[in-house]
Amino acid sequence: MDQFFSAGYITFPEPKSHLKNLLHRGSINKWQQEWATGDTGRTICNIISKATTNPVSWTRESILFVTRYTAFPSYLRSFNLHYSDLCACGEVGTPFH
């Protein structure tokens, strides 16, 4: 272990890009485990099951629909901006009803 430390510096026998790649893969694996077993974000997890750093090319409308952050009665009611969380049909007014 002493061969990696000299004069307060850490030396690594591989190229810096290799270490960067190892750290990136490790963080993605940890993120995937937390994403798969977490309690929050289940709606999105059911649509995008794999954690990745690549951007998803969604439109603004798609993001608002899937995250439920738009003018649905259930969302508006959570901020007391609507008198009820029910839709005109009588069910709870979420995007997926």
Name, of 29-33, 74-78, 92-96, the range with top average pLDDT.
29-33
Query: Contacts by 24-32 with C-beta closer than 8 Å and gap 24+?
Result: 28/52, 28/53
* Residue 71 confidence (pLDDT) above 90: no
Two tokens, residue 64? 């608002």
Residue 3 lies in a domain: no
pTM: 0.50
| Residues 63 and 91 occupy one common structural domain | yes
For residue 95, report the phi and psi dihedrals to the nearest 5 degrees: -60, -25
pLDDT tens digits for range 1-58: 555 555 667 777 788 898 899 999 999 999 999 888 888 777 777 777 888 888 878 8
Residue 50 lies in a domain: yes
| Under 8 Å between Cβ of 48 and 56 | yes
Residue 29 has a pLDDT of 92
53 or 97: which leads in pLDDT: 53
Two tokens, residue 58? 């969604």
- Give mean pLDDT, residues 72-81: 82
Q: How many domains does the chain have?
A: 2
Residue 25 has a pLDDT of 92
| Residues 50 and 72 occupy one common structural domain | no
Residue 28 lies in a domain: yes
| Residues 66 and 86 occupy one common structural domain | yes
Range of the domain at 67: 57-96
